[in-house]
A and B are shown apart, each in its own frame.
Chain A
Amino acid sequence: MSFEIPDDLYYLESHEWIDPDTGRIGISEFAQDELGDVVFVELPDEGEELEQETEFGVVESIKAVSDLYSPASGTVTAVNEALFDRPELVNDDPFGEGWMLELDIDSDLDGLLSADEYADQIE
């Protein structure tokens, strides 16, 4: 099975993606497939400071509870509150409506995986 891996995003080994233009963060299609039905998402508040590759939240599925890691440092400027009522958006549209938060990016993204590198990792 092959998964969608948009070219214009950067990725962490732990399956989070970040859009370098908008600072938007979420988890990959592969990750949501591994997790199974997502039932709960815990996210930071707007204004919180995140550090690159440290935990910013939790995603819980019927199979597992996993920490979420931030692909970049920066300030949270928006949180996708729709996920609190409809966590299934993470499954249905992980790169779209299932986004988790937006960050005012304050770190470089050089250490992150490109779409190709991420594709190799999940092969």
Chain B
Amino acid sequence: MSAAKESGHDRFVADQLPQPRPADADHLGWLESEAIHILREVAGQCRNPALLFSGGKDSLVLLRLAEKAFRPGAFPFPLLHIDTGHNFPEVIAFRDHRAAELGERLIVRSVEDSIAEGRVVLRDATESRNRHQSVTLLDAIAEFGFDACIGGARRDEEKSRAKERIFSFRDTFGQWDPKNQRPELWSLFNARVGPGEHVRVFPISNWTELDIWQYIARERLAVPSIYLAHTRPVVRRGSALVCVTPLTPPRDGDVVEQISVRFRTVGDITCTAPVASDAASIEAIIAETAMTTITERGATRLDDQTSDASMELRKKEGYF
């Protein structure tokens, strides 16, 4: 106020300069601006949110976006990881390293505990624990009373995600009902929930796999080593490569090969397959992604191939 009186006029400095370049003039800037806006809406609207962080590439991008939204302050939410107990050790180590580096609180809840408590019953010990994460996740949401969970899902991943809202309502059973989703217009997001209900929030809904890698390159983000090409023992099952690990030993008649592979997604060991690749740098991954011929989930997620609609069914049960 005093400054206005001193200068004696009300000029707008911005009016006298050429327009600054809009923050969203390039596509990564556009995506970043949208995601920061969404994260700040969560902080503004929700009482007790959490950010789902696995150490995977999408959640690493989410963390950088959270830094852009809230630094130099602390994040207004803890990080939450649902550990299947079947994760790649490199990814778990990376998760802990990154959380410590950021100085943010990391909550880990494990499917192993849900099994011990009898909340999850496996058909057999080697069954994929991917879908069982839903039980552990919903229990964690109830335990902490979270009213919003920020996740790294993208609409281009899978066709049932193409109709997912950015703020996606879940009822008291954690269920997603595709016929009962709130209309989402402009950038007006509705995070209102009743007791026991919550919203899943997907700030990178509009990003593609290529956008993710371009952003990782632009921001010079470190990623777990298994995203980059490395030599590893694998067997071939149909069109997929399956890693040989203590959890996924070779079957009779399998031919174990040592080949150069990288992972495009890093989920449960029992259902995440690598792709043959020599891409040993982020730049090489971008080049490969730009001309790849297989979708990310098609190449790497054995659990999505069980039926045409597996993802839709799991989402209805409360999956990410």
Report if A and B associate in a common complex. no
- A interface residues, Cβ below 8 angstroms from B: none
